[in-house]
């Protein structure tokens, strides 16, 4: 069965294309000092708003900074922070959802009512409220996105937990005297994480987009740090005279989000295929 699932994952073009783009962006971010032709913070006012050229492949911004270098260095910020936000939300949501579903009763009711309240508000609006209280900045923006992002993971993991809570291997672990913590860590979490993987990839794309949106509004990354959302915000004032200031950061942001969405959709369909294969095997 493992080999069949592996073949499904390898054979899905969306996973291959998405993973290739993500790996490429990651390598570009890692080797940014070697790839970028200029210092992303260096100013050359004589070349301000200049169009793409051999010296400035993506042109220069309103302060004469190399757009190509800033796009590359922007990947060093957007990609890891977006993935860190999603990873943190996944860990928190998975633990809360697993514990809530496993224990049940009043604990489950209490946790789910909190999740319902948070999910009743649009995530980005709630993040804006949190940032308004805590103040702008990359750390506060990241905290706000984690605070609104864990709920979806918690609900999904809780649903998966309820589906296997009374399974034979769970009952066997209880009969052997295993503690609740051991059962959750050793038996429960490994069996409920797989359905969350597609959501994690999609969530990473959303986190990168949300962070860029907050930076665009002046609530995330602060100038002069190179970040795609902030570059779009700076370029909107010169949309007609220097459209390259928005085109290239926009392409980088769109390609990154597209890559995570492609990989997430592919993994989701692969897991659905695995589920159908398992159901067919059980019927035989």
pLDDT-derived band at 4, boundaries 50, 70, 90:
very low
C-alpha span between 31 and 131 (Å, rounded): 32
pLDDT digits (tens, 9 = 90+) for 35-57: 999 999 999 999 999 999 999 99
Residues near 172 by beta carbon (within 8 Å), at least 6 away in sequence = none
Given this model, what pLDDT does residue 281 score? 43
More confident residue, 255 or 178: 255
- φ and ψ of 66, to 5 deg: -70, 115
Task: Identify which of 108, 91, 109, 102 has the alpha carbon closest to the alpha carbon of residue 178.
Answer: 102
Q: What are the tokens at 55? A: 């010296």
C-alpha span between 25 and 47 (Å, rounded): 28
pLDDT-derived band at 211, boundaries 50, 70, 90:
very high
Mean pLDDT of the chain: 88
More confident residue, 98 or 169: 98
Query: What percentage of the chain reaches a pLDDT higher than 90?
Result: 65
With b meaning 16 or more CB within 10 Å and e meaning fewer, what string describes 208-228? bbbbbbbbbeebbbeeebbbb
Domain with residue 13: its CATH number is 1.10.3720.10
Strands (E), 46-128: none
- The mean pLDDT of 204-230, rounded to a whole number, is 93
**pLDDT exceeds cutoff 80 at 7:** no
More confident residue, 221 or 179: 221
- The mean pLDDT of 11-18, rounded to a whole number, is 85
- The mean pLDDT of 126-139, rounded to a whole number, is 93
Q: What are the tokens at 228? A: 């795609």
Q: How many folded domains does the chain comprise? A: 1
Picking from 63-72, 83-92, 107-116, which range would have the lowest pLDDT averaged per residue?
Answer: 107-116
Given this model, what pLDDT does residue 246 score? 95
Q: What are the tokens at 77? A: 């910020």
Given this model, what pLDDT does residue 77 score? 92
pLDDT-derived band at 107, boundaries 50, 70, 90:
confident
Q: In terms of residue numbers, what domain contains 24? A: 2-283
């Amino acid at each position: 069965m493992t080999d069949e699932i592996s073949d499904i994952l390898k054979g899905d073009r969306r996973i291959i294309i998405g993973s290739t783009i993500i790996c490429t962006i990651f390598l570009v971010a890692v080797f940014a000092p070697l790839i970028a032709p200029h210092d992303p913070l260096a100013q050359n006012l004589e070349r301000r708003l200049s169009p793409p050229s051999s010296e400035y492949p993506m042109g220069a911004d309103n302060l004469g900074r190399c757009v190509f270098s800033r796009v590359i260095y922007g990947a060093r910020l957007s990609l890891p922070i977006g993935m860190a936000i999603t990873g943190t939300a996944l860990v928190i949501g998975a633990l809360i959802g697993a514990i809530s579903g496993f224990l049940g009763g009043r604990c489950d009711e209490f946790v789910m009512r909190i999740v319902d309240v948070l999910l009743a508000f649009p995530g980005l609006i709630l993040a804006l409220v949190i940032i308004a209280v805590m103040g702008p900045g990359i750390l506060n923006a990241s905290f706000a996105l984690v605070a609104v992002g864990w709920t979806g993971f918690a609900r999904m993991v809780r649903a998966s937990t309820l589906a296997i809570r009374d399974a034979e291997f769970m009952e066997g672990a209880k009969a052997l005297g295993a503690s609740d913590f051991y059962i959750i860590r050793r038996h429960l979490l490994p069996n409920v994480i797989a359905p969350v993987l597609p959501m994690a990839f999609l969530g990473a794309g959303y986190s990168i987009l949300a962070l860029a949106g907050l930076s665009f509004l002046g609530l995330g990354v602060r100038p002069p740090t190179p970040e795609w959302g902030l570059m779009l915000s700076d370029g909107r004032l010169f949309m007609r005279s220097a459209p390259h200031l928005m085109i290239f950061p926009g392409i980088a942001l769109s390609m990154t989000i597209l890559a995570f969405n492609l990989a997430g959709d592919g993994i989701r369909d692969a897991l659905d295929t695995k589920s159908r294969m398992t159901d067919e095997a059980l019927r035989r």
